[in-house]
Amino acid sequence: MLYADLHIHSTFSDGELTPSEILNTAMLKGIKCISITDHDTIMSQYQLEPYFCESNPIIIPGLEISTEYCDCEIHFLAYFIDIYNQPLVETLSRIREARVGRFKDIIKELYKLDIHILPDDIDKQEDVSIGRPHIARLLVQKGYACSIKEAFHQFLAKGKPAYVERYKINYKEALKLIAEAGGVAVLAHPAEVYKGLSTEKLIKEFKVYGLRGVEVFHPSHSNMEISKFYNLAKKYDLVITGGSDFHSSIDNGTVSIGLTGLNETLTDKLLRRNRNK
Ligand code: AMP
Ligand code: ZN
Ligand code: FE
Ligand code: FE
C-alpha cells in the first residue's frame, strides 16, 4: 500500500463511495494522505472540511477539471484549492448545469435506440456532477450491456450512437482559475488522453499559463511512461503526483484505493512545495 492516493472519485461525481466511506477505507488500509478529486465539483470537500486539520490521514482539498485544448480533452487536477473561492465555485456550478443538459440529451439519443431510461432511474445524490458512468451503470443493471466497458463501447464513447459532447472550459481559463483559487494545477494522466500529442510540448505550453505539476503515477501508465513523465517533471521543475483514479469496484476492476500513488518522500515534497508557494 502506498503512502498517498491523490486521485479518488466520490459519489459527488461518478464514484461509488461517499467521502466518508473513502476516508474510512483509506484509514483501514493505513493510507496516510488522500485527495478526493471529483470531476468538476468540490462538493465532497465541504463534507471533508472538518477533517482537514487532522493528520491521519492528511486530506488535501482536490478537484479534477475537464478542459478543451485544440479539440482535445485535457484533465487537470487541482490541489490545495480554497473551496470558498467564488469564481471557482461559480464556474464549477456552471459546468455542472451543462452536464445535466448533456445527460438529458444522452437519454434522448438512447431513446432513439429503443433504450428507455428516465433521469429519475439514476440513483445519485443531489447536486452530483453527473457523467456517463452513471448512465453506463444503469445500462448494465437493465441488461442493455454486460459491463461498463461494453456500455461505453456500444453507446457512450466518442463516435458511438449515444455520445454527446460536453461543455468544457478552455485550458487557459482553467489554469488561471486554479491559480487564483490558490491551487496547484497538475496535468492528469498524461498517457491516457494525449496519445499522439507530445507531452513535453503540452507541459511547456501549460507551464506558461500556470501548470505546477504532473501526475506521474496513474494505473494507465506503463513503467516506461512513468519514467518519462518523472523525468519531464524534474526537467520543468514541476511537482510529482499520483493516485488510483478509483471510481468503483465495478467500473475499475483491479483498481483500488491506495494501489497507485505516492511514497512518503514524494508526498512530503508536495506538501512542502505547497507550504512554500
Ligand atoms: P464524462 O465525465 O461524462 O465525460 O465521463 C467520463 C468518465 O467516464 C471518465 O472519467 C471515466 O471514468 C469514464 N470512462 C470514459 N471512457 C470510458 C470507457 N471507455 N470505459 C469505461 N469508463 C470510461
Ligand atoms: Zn470519472
Ligand atoms: Fe481524468
Ligand atoms: Fe479521474
pLDDT tens per residue across span 93-152: 999 999 999 999 999 999 999 999 887 877 666 679 999 999 999 999 999 999 999 999
- Any idea of the CA torsion for 252, 254, 257, 261, to the nearest 10 degrees? -100
Specify the pLDDT at position 124.
Answer: 65
Give, for ligand 1, the residue of 67, 107, 152 to mutate: max count of ligand atoms closer than 8 Å to Cβ. 152
Inform me whether the pLDDT recorded for 178 exceeds 70: yes
Ligand 1 centroid to residue 276 C-alpha, Å = 35
Whether the Cβ atoms of residue 243 and residue 219 lie closer than 8 Å to each other: no
Residue type, 261: G
Contacts of 64 (CB under 8 A, 6+ apart): 7, 9, 13, 37, 38, 39, 40, 75, 76, 77, 78, 188
The β-bridge partners of 185 are 78, 211
| Residues 71-96 pLDDT 10s | 889 999 999 999 999 999 999 999 99
120/140 Cα distance (integer angstroms): 16
CA–CA gap between residue 238 and residue 207 (Å, rounded): 9
Atom of ligand 1 nearest to the CA of 14: 12
Residues less than 5 Å from ion ligand 3, measured at CB: 75, 188
Which atom of ligand 1 lies at the shortest distance from residue 64's CA?
10
Cell of 181: 483559487
Could you say which ligand is closest to the alpha carbon of residue 134?
A: 1
Query: What is the spatial distance between Cα 162 and Cα 186, in angstroms, rounded to a whole number?
Result: 31
Mutation choice for ligand 1 from 13, 14, 155, CB with most ligand atoms inside 8 A: 14
The predicted pLDDT at position 123 comes to 67
Confidence of residue 170 (pLDDT cuts 50, 70, 90): very high
pLDDT tens digit string along 136-168?
999 999 999 999 999 999 999 999 999 999 999
In this predicted model, what pLDDT tens digit does every residue of 22-65 receive, in sequence order? 999 999 999 999 999 999 999 999 999 988 877 889 999 999 99
Please report the atom of ligand 1 found closest to the CA of residue 153: 19
The DSSP element (H or E) to which 144 belongs, if any, is none
Ligand 1 centre to CA of 132 (Å) is: 6
The predicted model scores a pTM of 0.94
Going by CA atoms, what residue is nearest to atom 2 of ligand 1? 131
- pLDDT for position 177: 98
Asked if pLDDT for residue 277 goes beyond 90, the answer is no
Q: How far is CA 209 from CA 176, 179, 202, 241, in A?
A: 7, 9, 11, 19
Residue 92, classed as helix, strand or coil, is helix
**Residue 264 scores a pLDDT above 80:** yes
Cell of 63: 478537484
**Ligand 1 pocket, CB under 6 A:** 14, 39, 131-133, 148-149, 152, 157, 166, 247, 251
Q: Grid coordinates in use for 239?
A: 511537482
Q: In this predicted model, what pLDDT tens digit does every residue of 233-261 receive, in sequence order?
A: 999 999 999 999 999 876 656 779 999 99
Pocket test for ligand 1, best of 10, 105, 132, 248 (most atoms within 8 A of CB): 132
d(CA 147, CA 137): 8
Cα(131) to ligand 3 centroid in Å equals 12
Separation of 114 CA from ligand 3 center, angstroms?
30
Distance CA 53, CA 56 (A): 9
